[in-house]
Every structure is written in structure tokens, then in C-alpha cells.
Structure 1
């Protein structure tokens, strides 16, 4: 099959981009795969791509580029409309509702058109109008599938396939470093401020442990100021962005997740794949979508006293090496469901059925 992924920008550092790269790479072993990026924002994609996966873009938005026509949304829509009308592929997989609507309207009808969804529909009206023209919707979690079923009913069919881990073996943590790691975009929804406040309590009682934060974003300055105000200069380290988050997680003994909504959950999945216990809040659409408390991680209730409760649970796990080892074994078992070959096989089965 010739498979095309349509993304807003393959050059961004986002969980959905990482998930798309992993799936495209896995499918490229047996199929011709291309990623069509609406925009190009840097020289190279943030996450490395295998040579078998083709990449092209519609609008070059790198700094210093000039065009005769405006660079606004109107130009993007025109370029996207032209690209979809001229698309030649067997399968088109979109990665954003706005792109799925355009694919439903303009992509060739003889192509299988699938919307890959990670979160609930924000604007139901155009979705209810145009999505019935699609071949299917594929959700990444059970919660997301249920939300799309309530929105769409039975047309088009809504399926559940999880995201894939990177192709190939992941590094495995030996759980012998006194490091807690966390990664992702530094934005309000990820609530890294909760983690820093909780770690201030941990550092006071276990000063030999360190917190490493990987990522970047709009909250950078605020989070650094918070760490300074709490006197955590020697305990919390802002590591910046990395395309190899699993490699960094493998150096940790615990991966902390304090986001209010973990969609997509690539950070959690990658931590499990490295055999690292995950500690998170038991929030709606949070890490509980991927983690079973007591089996492969620990979930702490949200609400009054949540910071103290999170710190207490983190200290308990720090002090119990045998429990960390048991949770790590459970993490590796859970991660097997996200292995690239297994996830790719489920996609191949679905796409084959849709083509038939």
C-alpha cells in the first residue's frame, strides 16, 4: 500500500508528531509511506525519520522566507486543497480534526481516508457534517474512542489502536540512579509546577535525589523562577529538549507525570518501554489511561492536599527499591502492547479491511 500521513508540521516537538513518526516508520517496513507536512518550520524534523519514509511540505515557514502571496491561513488552505486534490495514495491518515475535515471534502474518494484522533472533538458541527465521508476514525485510548462514538454514532466506524513505541529495542533502566525524570512541553496543561512543588518536599528529606526536566515551552521562565524560589538550584535541572527521550528516561529510576490531561501519552508509554515506574495523578484523561496503579506505576488522587500526597507517594517509592523493581517488570509487560510491530499489524489489518 501507498500510505500518506497528513500533519500540521512534522518539524514540531509534540507527542502526536512522535506518535506519527513511530507509526510511519513501522509501516514503512512493508509499505510505501510518505508524510505530508502542511508547514516546514525548521531545517530537519525534530524527531529523526528513517530514510524509507518520504517527507514533503506545502509551506516553508522557516525564518527569513518570503513569499509574494500572504503567509496566513488562506494561503495554507489553498495549498492544502491543491495537494489533496492531486494526492495519489491508497490510504490517507490525518492527524488533526481540521485536516480530517479537509480530507473528507477534497481527498480522492477512491483512497481510504482515516482520521487519527488523540482527544475529544472541540467543534462538533463541521465534524458531524463531514466525517461521515471518511472511511474510519481511529482513537488512541478507550476514553477518546467513547467520546468520538458519542459524537459520530456509527458513521464512520470508530476503532481503537494505541500509539506505537519507536521501532527497535529501547534502552532499559537499571533503576540504580537517584534520578526522577519528566518530559514534555512546558505548558500549563502539563502542570510541571505541581511536580516542582512536590519535589521540594522530597529534596528536603532525600537531598541526594535529583529531578531532571526535559522539554521546553511557554512555561520555561515561570518554572525556573519557581525552582529558584523553592531553593532547588541543586536539585531540579532543566535539561532542554531532546529527540531521544527514552534514552534519557533509561537513566532514571522513576518517571514523574503531573499533567492534567495526558493526550497523547507518548511520555508515559516511552517510560514504560524503558522499564521505569511511572508516578502520576489519577486525573481524567491522565496517565491512568496507560498506567495501572500497583502494577506498573503509582497514581495519586487529585484534590485537596494533592502536592503533599504526591510527594509522600514519591518518597515511599524512592525508599522501596524492591517495589520499584516489581513495578519496572510490570512496566515492561504493559509496554509490549505498544511495540511497533504489534501496533503496525493492527493498522495493516484495519486498512486492509477498509480497502476491501
Structure 2
């Protein structure tokens, strides 16, 4: 059955994995004959360059990130006229954005579905008119990472009454179900594509790909590399990505004496090429969901060393078989994994080949089949 599918995210163009997932999923669903519309709450400053121009409609409700609601503190605050005017303007702009979202949803034909990829976007979807639509909420991070953040309260408030909500692994779904979320299911991310030719794994390069933010743990990676670099003076760490922590991380790099062995590559618009030029991939995140970067590295035949920070990581990387995992935040252990991979070309080749083969279990066709099953289930 062909249906209208609206995918709503915080942004449709922000540099990051959720943006990539959004447009990849839109392409897959459109290829199945569905009419897909991607919607972002706002346009982003730090934009992602998409490998393929979207063939589906793309809408941003705001031209930039909307202001945070104002909360007065004390009686004197309530009489600050300029601030009250700004808050009134913010509320009016939100009302217009919600109305625009309702107009888009009103174009839907019977059987339409709204997929909300991030809980912050539910503020607008929750106020919009979704009459006749099935609403699916999603989380792209692990239960543990959400539980330790303010998003836990948002999820409990916004997602418990939806038609369905999805996490990325069965383990995460079980944890949320045990926490009282009875409408939860799981669906892993799909592998976008399999490069025709894997990395030759001949370059003495370790690659990291991800936003330069606290979640991605590049500060932990630099501390790790400080343990690896003296023993691997002919290897280089290439950090692909951009983000709010860039200046602080470069300062840390200099302070650790790593400027000669760390290369800052900037935003990674051509991930496939970056991986083709690497022999090892490293992920040092504090928290993840089902990281696309790991999938892409393994599809390129690049063995991975990563912190075991989420069920999705250990579901993708089978420790000791097609990659090596370290306890979360343990830089000595991650350094050990990197030393093993950089020091043993036979191990790299064996794990890289198994990674490329094994990661194909997350095929797009299997993911599409499960989306169709969910759509049919929600119609019953």
C-alpha cells in the first residue's frame, strides 16, 4: 500500500547521523512507492552536505533555531517589558509553525504516518493536528544515555501515549518496557550502501568520523591517542568532523604534544573516501544509539575499535570477531585495542573482511520489510 509518510526531525540539514538517517530512510520509503515529506523544526547553521539531492519535499518550520521559552524568576522579572515582548513574539512564531505543520499533515490521505525522529520535535508535533494519522516516536540513542539526560523526562512525557515508539535494539526496548513504556518496539538502522571496493587497509591511518561534541568523546580519543602515538610513530589519527568543541579539542591536542600525529580533516562530506584511506576506524563516544559511522566503516572493510557504550555498538561490532570493544571511557583499554589493530596487519585484514561480510545483515531490504510490517500493524 502506498501511503503518505512525514518524517519530522529537529532539523533536516544539521550535520550528524540523524540527518543522514532521515534522508536515507526517506529515499528507501519513496523507492517503495510511498509519498515522503521530510520536515525539520528549524534550518541548521552547521549543515550536512547530502550525497544525493533529496527527491522528496523538504520543509523547515523556522529559518533558524527558535528561542528558548522565557521563564520569569520573581515578581520584578514579570515586569520586564522588552523581555515580555520577546516572549510574546516567540509564542506567536511557535503558533505559526504549529499551524504550518498542521497544514502539511492535512494534505495526507488515509493510512498516513508521522515518524518523529527526536523527542524535542515532539513539542511541535504534539501541538499540531494529527487527526487520522498514526504517530511513531523514535529515539536514536541508548536507554542508558537517555536515562542520564533531560531527554528521559521528555520521552516519558511525550512518547508514552503515541501509537508506537521505536528504539534501535531489542535490549534498549526491553529496558524501556521495564520502565513502564508499553508501546515500545525496536528497529535497527539500515546500512546505506556497500562500497564496490573495500579499503585496501594499507595506509597507516586511523580514522574517526563524528561531530566534535561531548557525546562523541573526541577528548577521550585524544587522551587515548597520547598512549598510542609514542608506540606507533609512523601512524596518523585523522579526525573527520566539525562542531562546537573544535577549538577546545585542538588546544587539547597541542597540549598533549600530538600536533604531529593528528590531522584535523574538517567535515566529512565524502565518508566513503575517508574510509577508503583508513586502515582502522575508532569510535570514542560517551553514548550512541546504532551508529551509522560504525556500519559504514565495516562496510568499507575497515576494522573498528570502539567504546562499548550502547547495546547498538555491541550489536554491530562482534567483539573479537570483526572488531574490538573496550569498556566505556577506559582510554587505556581503547589504546590497547588500537595498538593491537595497528600492529598486526593479518588481524586487520581478517577482521576487516569479516566486518564487511557481517554488516550486510543490516540490509536496507530487511529494514524496509520491517517498516512495512509496522505500518500494517498500526492500521489494524
TM-score by length of 1: 0.87
d(CA) in 1 for partners of 2:377, 2:244: 43
1:314-355, CA deviations, whole angstroms, 9 ceiling, x for partnerless residues? 112112111112211221233213222321221122112212
Q: Does 1:297 align with 2:323?
A: yes
Contact persistence 1:140–1:162 (CA under 8 A): yes
Displacement after TM superposition at 1:171 (Å): 5.3
Structure 1, unmatched stretches of 5+, are: 63-67
SS at match of 1:216: coil
Match for residue 301 of structure 2 among 254, 257, 275? 275
Which of 12, 15, 18 aligns to 2:14? It is 12
Give the Cα separation in 2 of the matches to 1:15 and 1:5: 15
Given that 2:217 and 2:285 are in contact with CA atoms closer than 8 Å, whether structure 1 keeps it comes out as: yes
Shift of 1:211: 0.6
Equivalenced residues, count:
347
CA change 1:346–1:272 in 2 (3 A) is same
Which residue number corresponds to residue 65 of structure 1?
none
Distance 1:228 1:213 in 2: 14
Instruction: Give the equivalent residue in structure 2 for 1:237.
Output: 263
1:34–1:54 contact (8 Å) kept in structure 2 = yes
Q: How far 1:125 sits from its partner (Å)?
A: 6.0
Q: TM-score, structure 2 length as denominator?
A: 0.82
**Cα distance in 2 for residues equivalent to 1:158 and 1:313:** 35
Unaligned runs of 5+ in 2: 66-84
1:164 aligns with 2:164: no
Structure 1 residues 73 and 209, CA gap change in structure 2 (3 angstroms): farther
Is 1:25–1:167's contact at 8 Å kept on the other side of the alignment? no
From 136, 142, 145, the counterpart of 1:114: 136
2:114–2:135 CA contact under 8 A, matched in 1: yes
Question: What's the C-alpha RMSD, in Å, of the aligned pairs?
Answer: 2.8
Which of 79, 94, 102 is equivalent to 1:85? 102
Alignment check: 8 A CA contact 1:139 1:160 kept? yes
Paired position in structure 1 for 2:342 = 318
1:186-244 CA distance string (max 9 Å, x none):
11222212222222332222211111001112221222122222332221000000223
Alpha-carbon shift at residue 142 of structure 1 (Å): 2.9
Structure 1 residue 267, shift from structure 2 partner = 1.6
Quick one: which of 209, 212, 217 aligns to 2:243?
Answer: 217
Q: Could you tell me whether the CA contact under 8 Å between 1:22 and 1:165 is conserved in 2?
A: no
Q: 1:318 to 1:169 in 2, by over 3 A?
A: closer
Alpha-carbon deviation of 1:69? 8.7
Does residue 140 of structure 2 align to residue 140 of structure 1?
no
Q: 1:217 to 1:72 in 2, by over 3 A?
A: farther
Distance 1:115 1:96 in 2: 7
